[in-house]
């Protein structure tokens, strides 16, 4: 059974980004997380990470649709 919560290091590894980039996503609110324990350990729910990934796919599709590669802007 997969763990319900992931550390920021786990999320960084999954997304292939740095720990600092992961922390920035959490602090900006783009990636929902909770802060637990006296030392303020951040945890991201696995389902929230999957929702974030799906949202990024949607945003990317929208961007590509609106900004096609090689579109002739001189018309």
Number of domains in the chain: 1
Q: Is 37 within the bounds of a domain?
A: yes
> How many other CB atoms sit within 10 Å of the CB of residue 22?
24
Q: What would the pLDDT profile of 20-73 be if each residue is shown by its tens digit? A: 999 999 999 999 999 998 888 999 999 999 999 999 999 999 999 898 776 555
**pLDDT for the residue numbered 20:** 96
For the whole model, what pTM was predicted? Answer: 0.83
Q: Is 56 within the bounds of a domain?
A: yes
**pLDDT for the residue numbered 71:** 58
Q: What is the CATH number of the domain that holds 25?
A: 1.10.1660
The first and second tokens of residue 65, run together, are 């649709």
């Amino acid at each position: 059974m997969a763990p319900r919560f992931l550390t920021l290091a786990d999320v960084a590894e999954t997304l292939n980004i740095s720990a600092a980039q992961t922390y920035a996503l959490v602090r900006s609110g783009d990636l929902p997380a909770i802060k637990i324990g006296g030392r303020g350990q951040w945890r991201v729910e696995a389902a929230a990470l999957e929702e974030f990934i799906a949202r990024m796919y949607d945003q990317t599709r929208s961007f590509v649709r609106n900004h096609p590669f090689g579109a002739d802007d001189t018309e």
